[in-house]
Structure 1
Amino acid sequence: MQSKELLLEAFNRLPDLVRQVLEGLDEAHLQRRPAGNGNSIAWLVWHTGRVEDAQVASASGLEQVWTAEGFVSRFGLPLADRDTGYGHSSEQVDAVRAPRELLLEYYEAVHRQSAKVLEGIGDSDLDRVVDRHWDPPVTLGVRLVSILGDCLQHLGQAAYAKGLHAGMADTGGA
């Protein structure tokens, strides 16, 4: 298996995880925050897409799907156009509201761009430095693994939050 094939295999698992998390949830479940102050499922899925979108686009010299395909206006969030959710306050987490269909549509568009980028890389591309703000500088390979790790972590958090909500519904909790 080539590096590109391995990365595609890993990234191709993400859309199914997003679909599984979003399946069967209404807007109230999407917005509910674990313990009243955890990140909502809507925020976690949005943030997963934003992180992958922003970082893949930056590393590849592409425009973000968020702006290129008009998702910024379709979501209509009271946030800066390039906001990815990093360092959000509780109020900003609450402000991320969207129907599950839009969350899924955005993530799937992001994934299509990521897959296209991955299809076009070779092993030597993975050594290209994409961020000199770190010591050592970050290569494309390291950035892609970092993006994948972030996405898996956030989708795991969303799945956990979904399970908490189901448990609350089963026991009559809030």
Structure 2
Amino acid sequence: MTSAQLLTDAFERIREEVHHAVDGLTPEQLAYRIDGRSNSIAWLVWHLTRVQDDHMADLAGAEQVWPAWAGRFALPLDEADTGYGHGPEQVGLVRVDSAELLTGYHDAVHETSLRFLSTITDDDLPRIVDRAWDPPVTMAVRLISVISDDLQHAGQAAFVRGLLP
């Protein structure tokens, strides 16, 4: 198994978890928050997908998928917003019309991620992609960071789903 195949498997697992967390839910269920400060399923899945979209596009030197989807979501947020640093009020602004909207955007990002992953080799992984950190971030570290963040948020969404009234 190559590194690209291993990474592809990880991103496939993210997609599976996203679908499991949201499939069949109503807009009200997607917006459900355990309390006034917690994240909703909609916010968690939107955020994990925005982060994947942002980071993978940056790694690939490509455009993000989000601009083609932002109008469908019609969120009262800046188009560049990924949800990073959102407080409770901003989390509450992320409401969606359907689970299919979330999975549609996620699937579009997933497909672009897989296309990029199919092009990388082991020699690409040590490339420095962000010098703002000490130590600088390599492509390998950025990819693992996306996988980790996405799986954590998908798990949180599944947890909230399990608590739906």
Q: Same fold by TM (over 0.5)? A: yes
Residue 2 of structure 1, CA deviation: 1.2
Determine which structure has the larger helix proportion and give its number.
1
The share of aligned pairs that are identical, in percent, is: 51
1:39-86 Cα offsets, whole Å, 9 max, x none, are 00000010010010001111211111101xx11111111111110001
Question: Paired residue for 1:142?
Answer: 141
Amino acid at match of 2:111: R
Detail structure 1 runs of 4+ shifted over 6 Å in the superposition.
none
- Structure whose CA Rg is larger: 1
Question: Paired residue for 2:33?
Answer: 33
Question: Paired residue for 1:45?
Answer: 45
Question: Paired residue for 1:93?
Answer: 91
Amino acid at match of 2:44: L
2:148 pairs with 1:119: no
Residue 140 of structure 1, CA deviation: 0.5
d(CA) in 1 for partners of 2:59 and 2:9? 19
Amino acid at match of 1:64: Q
Residue 123 of structure 1, CA deviation: 0.2
Question: Paired residue for 1:79?
Answer: 77
2:152 pairs with 1:153: yes
Gaps of 5+ in 1: 170-174
TM-score, scaled relative to structure 1: 0.92
d(CA) in 2 for partners of 1:36 and 1:73? 27
Gaps of 5+ in 2: none
> Match of 2:163, SS?
helix
Count of residue pairs the alignment pairs up: 164
TM-score, scaled relative to structure 2: 0.96
1:10-47 Cα offsets, whole Å, 9 max, x none, are 11111111111112211111001112321000000100
